Structure 1
């Protein structure tokens, strides 16, 4: 079974492309997290977790969901991480998580996809995004073939900086940067409620027709990138930047 978490569509695209190649079912963890659904999941085939990279590790919201959910059936688990550049030393923490769950770690691999972290970085134009996705497809397909054969994903060399990024930088990233204080809606807001619907932590409410953010944000960027009127901003950084969602068909 393929489980994916995706704020703007990158990991969803990768998950569905792998699913198409290996003929396995997919499950959206966005909905599971939003509904706080930790009901037992079962698969007779290996597990494939497809997620974005948050500060060089899997998102904490997904890590927590995996820890609190019982997996039955197959004990082998793969991790496929979409990112803009690197996944650092994510495998150290994934191995630890698998050991805690009594599951067999079958490796993790990075898939470079278009940047969506508009809170800090520059999102690509539509043409540039499609170019990046096209370049990723051969790696996605090779990954799917490896999983289909039941082989572990290849190891990569881990540098000192990879260890720092996935270690101390990740620990600092959440308390320092992951908050919703800078989100706001401009006068272009039409009170459609799309931002409320796409938030996996139920952190957004409409008050007097405008979205208001609470304290439980994971920086998935779904609200700002999926707003149909591009009415949501993140401080001054997002002003004028293109919004990004992966709209390419699998």
Structure 2
């Protein structure tokens, strides 16, 4: 049961700060909607550098769930900050299959910095990775509508500063993962018989050298070599490069979307320019 927070003893700046990590727009959309609703400053979490300090009255972290955990880049950035101070802190994980214990993993990273997580939420949105071909457009539309309702509820809780549960689910939440099994088996088959290199990013002749993949990569993992993107070793698996390519010129190995059991998706209310303009590229 939620309680109302009364943490007024710390004289922190009366700012509301939201830090997000997003590849195909789900987390950005949630972060932007909440920021607009509560009057918060919105920043990409990759804009934070080692040794930085965060001080805010209300602080929110929003990120996708990767393999039932927060993105490694997100936890690394948080754990490398010099100091985090906030009167009220929440975390939101966006996911397509299951939230699992993602927020509890993130809670540990915050605890290392002496921060108490006031509340944690999961928001289910369309899946953007391997296996997403198993979900219909109608299912995805329904998820977006339900997510909007939950965002409204979260905004109310933030404004009331309620303190409560850190949400988690089973990995078998609503048996969503069962739709993934045939596609996961196909992926494992490729890995077993063709090796990991067969699933590295490649570029077809359809590439028009627009630089969009390089600009939108949230971890700066793409360089430009001989007029084409060259993928580094720090990929976080967000699929932004693949999903935002205007010519679908980026593939996983030799496989297009159908071959790797993926559906073309980015949040319908987010444009590539939103992520590029809000991303730090220093």
TM-score between both structures, scaled by the size of structure 1: 0.80
Residue in 2 that maps onto 1:192: 210
Q: Is this contact kept in 2: 1:48–1:77, CA < 8 A?
A: yes
- Cα offset for 1:120? 4.6
Name whichever of 66-75 and 121-130 sits farther off: 121-130
Quote the offset at 1:245 in angstroms.
1.4
> CA 1:123 to 1:205, structure 2 compared with 1: closer, same or farther past 3 Å?
farther
1:149 and 2:122 matched: no
Q: Distance in 2 between matches of 1:62 and 1:114?
A: 21
Partner of 2:36: 20
- 2:120 aligns with 108
**Any stretches of 5+ residues in structure 2 without a counterpart?**
1-16, 174-191, 271-282
Deviation track 1:145-187 (CA, whole Å, cap 9, x = no partner) reads 112111124344655979xxxxxxxxxxxxx999995211112
- Structure 1 residue ranges without an equivalent (≥5): 163-175
RMSD: 3.0
Q: Which of 267, 276, 279 is 1:246 aligned to?
A: 267
Question: Aligned with 1:233: secondary structure?
Answer: strand
Contact 2:79 2:110 in 1 (8 A): no
Distance between the aligned counterparts of 2:143 and 2:197, measured in 1? 29
Give the Å deviation of 1:66: 0.5
Q: 1:193 to 1:70 in 2, by over 3 A?
A: same
Residues 70 and 228 of structure 1: CA distance in aligned 2, closer, same or farther (over 3 Å): same
Q: Is the CA contact (8 Å cut-off) linking 2:209 and 2:227 kept in structure 1? A: yes
In the other structure, the counterpart of 1:208 is 226
Per the alignment, residue 179 of structure 2 pairs with none
- Pair member with larger Rg: 2
| TM-score normalised to structure 2 length | 0.72
The SS at the match of 1:44 is strand
**How many pairs were matched up?**
232
The answer as to 2:78 corresponding to 1:66 is: yes
